[in-house]
Amino acid sequence: MARILVTGGTGYIGSHTTVELMQQGYDVVIVDNLSNSNADVLDGIEAIVGTRPPFEQVDCNDAVAMADVFTRYPDIVGVIHFAASKAVGESVEQPLLYYRNNLMSLVTLLEQMKAHNVHNIVFSSSCTVYGQPTPEHLPVDETAPIQVALSPYGNTKQINEEIIRDEAHADKSLQATILRYFNPIGAHPSAMIGELPNGVPQNLLPFVTQTAAGLRKQLKVYGNDYNTPDGSCIRDYIYVVDLAKAHVKAVERMLSGKSEEQVEVFNLGTGRGLSVLEILNTFIQVTGVDVPYEIVGRREGDIEQVWAKPDKANNVLGWKADTPVEEVLLSAWNWEKKLRNIE
Does a structural domain hold residue 225?
Answer: yes
For residue range 310-319, list pLDDT tens digits in order. 999 999 999 9
Whether 55 and 110 map to the same domain: the answer is: yes
Check: CB of residue 241 under 8 Å from CB of residue 20. Answer: yes
Whether 151 and 220 map to the same domain: the answer is: no
Whether 253 and 117 map to the same domain: the answer is: yes
Residue 103 region by backbone torsions, left for phi larger than 0, else alpha for psi between -120 and 50, else beta? alpha
Does a structural domain hold residue 192?
Answer: no
Whether 131 and 214 map to the same domain: the answer is: no
Whether 97 and 215 map to the same domain: the answer is: no
Whether 149 and 244 map to the same domain: the answer is: yes
Which residue among 268, 287, 315 closes a domain?
268
Query: Out of 5-14, 103-112, 195-204, which region has the weakest mean confidence (pLDDT)?
Result: 195-204
Give residue 68's pLDDT band: very low, low, confident or very high (50, 70, 90): very high
Check: CB of residue 97 under 8 Å from CB of residue 156. Answer: no
Annotated active-site positions, please?
153
pTM for this prediction: 0.97
Mean pLDDT value of segment 265-283: 98
Whether 137 and 170 map to the same domain: the answer is: yes
Whether 21 and 155 map to the same domain: the answer is: yes
Count of the separate structural domains present in the chain: 2
For residue range 10-63, list pLDDT tens digits in order. 999 999 999 999 999 999 999 999 999 999 999 999 999 999 999 999 999 999
> Which residue type sits at 78?
G
For residue range 213-252, list pLDDT tens digits in order. 999 999 999 999 999 999 999 999 999 999 999 999 999 9
Q: What CATH number does residue 309 fall under?
A: 3.90.25.10
Does a structural domain hold residue 194?
Answer: no
For residue range 283-316, list pLDDT tens digits in order. 999 999 999 999 999 988 788 999 999 999 999 9
Whole-angstrom Cα distance, residue 313 to residue 320?
7
The predicted pLDDT at position 343 comes to: 85
For residue range 161-202, list pLDDT tens digits in order. 999 999 999 999 999 999 999 999 999 999 999 998 778 887
Does a structural domain hold residue 342?
Answer: no
Which residue among 223, 249, 268 closes a domain?
268
> Which residue type sits at 193?
I
Whether 247 and 216 map to the same domain: the answer is: no
Whether 242 and 328 map to the same domain: the answer is: no
Q: Which domain holds residue 169?
A: 3-185+237-268
Whether 248 and 312 map to the same domain: the answer is: no
Whether 130 and 85 map to the same domain: the answer is: yes
Whole-angstrom Cα distance, residue 30 to residue 55?
5
Whole-angstrom Cα distance, residue 125 to residue 5?
17
Which residue among 220, 247, 268 closes a domain?
268
